Amino acid sequence: MNEAFKIVYDLLKWISKISGFTYHEVNIIVYFIIIPVIFIYMIERILKTNYLKIGFVVLILLTIIIVPDFSIFSTALFNKSVDFLNWFSIIGLNYIQASVVICVIVPLIIMGLLMYLKRRKANSKFKNLN
């Protein structure tokens, strides 16, 4: 688990270095915007709708309008995320273990499930054509 954490941490630090955003900002952009956008895109392809995408864009735009300082907002949200991950100590996971489970394994499981559902839907559509 430590190795997975280090790989993700180093990747986010590298993105931070080349983008000019702080580590906290990159973390929030990746986990609260990019990963949800990927999930929403996949869900909408399965459901053939645009409502989630439109709603998410509205939410992001409202956040951009309302939040006066993205850096302060990101640090506060990052700290709340750390608190959330530390909460998993009640089931025996330390911060690093909880980070890997919640921020790496769970998104990969969700991605795999969405890919499976998309393929299953595509296969059933293909069978219906025959």
Q: What is the pLDDT along the chain (130 residues), one digit of tens a residue?
A: 789 999 999 999 999 999 999 999 999 999 999 999 999 999 999 998 889 999 999 999 999 999 999 999 999 999 999 999 999 999 999 999 999 999 999 999 999 999 999 888 777 766 665 5
For helices 106-129 and 35-47, the axis angle rounded to 10 degrees is 20
pTM: 0.85
| Tokens linked to 129 | 């054509």
Q: Output b/e per residue, 93-108; b: 16+ Cβ within 10 A.
A: beeebbbbbbbeeeee
